[in-house]
Amino acid sequence: MSWRLPKLVPRSAPIILLVLTLAAVTGFAAVGHLVARYNANQQSRGRKLYALGLTAAGAGRYDDAIAAFRAALTCDPANSQYQLSLARALRDSNDPRRLDEAESYLIALWQRAPQDAAVNLALARVAAHRGSIEDATRYYHNAMYGVWNSDPDSNRSRARIELIQFLLKKGAPASAESELMALSTSLPPDPPAHLEAAQLFTQAQDYSGALTQYREVLHLDPSNSSALAGAGEAAYNSGNYATAQHDLQAAVNADSQNANARQLLATTDLILRNNPFRSHISDVERNRRIAAAFAQAEKRLTECAQQTGLNLNATGVSPASPLATLQSRWMTTKPELDRLRSPAETDLPDTIMDVVFQIEQQTASVCGPPQGMDLALFLISQKREAAIQ
């Protein structure tokens, strides 16, 4: 079968081209109309499927969400919202094989809009899932400095906090700390925000930074018991026991049920009462504290030796045993206690306390964490070491 147009016009090249052009324009318009209608239908279908996907994702049914988002994307392949949602569902489905696909969608979106903060944040989370510190940090930074559709300040802080948490989790406290510095300068005057920052400083073991943030909270909300307890704990961890005692006492007063604060307060009291190196105490008091610490060290040493099945008084104990060596040092040092009263013996307190500190540290490593007075002495030893260094 062959269809042929009637010969209405002479078959000359210009006329043919004119007719072809008209036919092409007509075809173009017709197909354009068809495609527009098809696209409208597809977009409507896509929106319904997208809504289904969002519902499924919200309920944690990621497989259903992925199927719905995929179907939505077949209806509207260029829709970046659908792509972003699919990528998020793929990432959150806890299937490592799906991370590649999620990343691929996100990279495509990123190439189209590298300034889009939501895309960068999603990419950062993919990188975080993979454990890549370098990529995650880059994308989190892009998200922080990118364009947010709404509430940019809060979203930027959230992105930075997420990055800090990721860095802490990956054991990169130095990087986390520098992010925390940046975070602390951009926080709004909002107690929960400062409280969260303080907790992150604590996780990063930057207790002085944490203390500053807790102080900010207390400045805004003086009765905040969490901030009081946090400030006390931060001061305690940074070796600032006088401040710790003040804050912990206030925390216990504000919330008597706070067992952790009570325990820290008890230890702090012990430290402050027994630290022979504390300023503004008399020589008599200092000597008393040294003697008490020395006696406590001997007690701890004996208990620890018994715990490990070692009889320090028996003959034939290996002199190479660390506990035996310490007991020997303790015995050698004991007569020196009487010379503490002499004003000429300026180095003696340090010498005696050095034996005490060695015993507390060694027994802590052999027999486990100390308690009560031993814990106090152990912490004093740490503070002393830090001061010397």
Partner 1 sequence: MSDVVSTAGSPEPSPASSLRTTERLFSTLEGVFHEEVFFLILSVFIGIFSGLAVVCFRLAIDWMHLALLGPLPQTHSWRLFAVPSLAGLVVAVLVLHVFPTIRGSGVNQTKAALYIFNGFIPFRTAVGKFICAAIAIGSGQSLGPEDPSLQIGASIASALGRQLEISREKLRLMAPVGAAAGLAAAFNAPISAVLFVIEEVIGRWSAGILGSVVLSAVSSVVIVRWFLGSEPLFRIPVTTFKRPTELIAYAVLGIVGGLASVAFAKSIGYLRPLLKALPRWTQYFQPALAGLLIGLIAFLGAPQIMGAGYDSMDQAMHGQYAWKVLAILAVLKIAATTVSFVSGTPGGMFAPTLFIGAMLGGAVGDIERIFFPHLTGSTGTYVLVGMGVLFAGFLRVPMTSVFMVLEVSGNYEIIVPVIVANTFSYLVSRGLQNVPIFDLLTRQDGLILPSLEEEREEAILRVEDAMLPVPGTILRAEDYVDANARRIQDSTDATFLVRMHPSGWGTITREQLQRLFQEGKGELTLGSVLPPQTVPSLYPDLPLDSALRYVNNYALVPVVNRADYLHLEGVISRDSVFQKYGARSNRD
Q: How far is the CB of 17 from partner 1 (least distance, A)?
A: 6
Q: How far is the CB of 61 from partner 1 (least distance, A)?
A: 13
CA dist., res. 282 & res. 267, Å (int): 22
Nearer to partner 1, 105 or 166 (CB): 105
DSSP type of residue 310:
-
Q: How far is the CB of 110 from partner 1 (least distance, A)?
A: 13
CA dist., res. 136 & res. 95, Å (int): 19
Nearer to partner 1, 32 or 131 (CB): 32
Q: How far is the CB of 44 from partner 1 (least distance, A)?
A: 11
Nearer to partner 1, 35 or 284 (CB): 35
Nearer to partner 1, 11 or 280 (CB): 11
Nearer to partner 1, 72 or 348 (CB): 72
CB under 8 Å to 138, separation ≥6 — which residues? 124, 127
CA dist., res. 155 & res. 148, Å (int): 8
Nearer to partner 1, 103 or 206 (CB): 103
Question: Cβ–Cβ contacts within 10 Å for residue 152, how many?
Answer: 13
Burial label, 277 (beta-carbon count in 10 A; 0-12, 13-18, 19+): middle
Output the six-digit token pair for 142: 């892009």
- Cα–Cα distances (Å) from 254 to 14, 222, 242, 261, 265, in that order, read 96, 11, 19, 11, 14
Contacts with partner 1, residue ranges (CB under 8 A): 1-5, 11-17, 20, 23-24, 27-28, 31-32, 34-35, 38, 45, 49, 67-68, 70-71, 74-75, 77-78, 97-98, 100-101, 103-105, 107-108
Nearer to partner 1, 45 or 246 (CB): 45
**Helix/strand number for the chain, H first, E second:** 17, 0
Q: How far is the CB of 42 from partner 1 (least distance, A)?
A: 8
Classify 212 as helix, strand or coil.
Answer: helix
For Cα atoms 381, 302, 267, give the angle at the middle one, nearest 5 degrees. Answer: 40
CA dist., res. 226 & res. 195, Å (int): 8
Q: How far is the CB of 114 from partner 1 (least distance, A)?
A: 17
Q: How far is the CB of 55 from partner 1 (least distance, A)?
A: 14
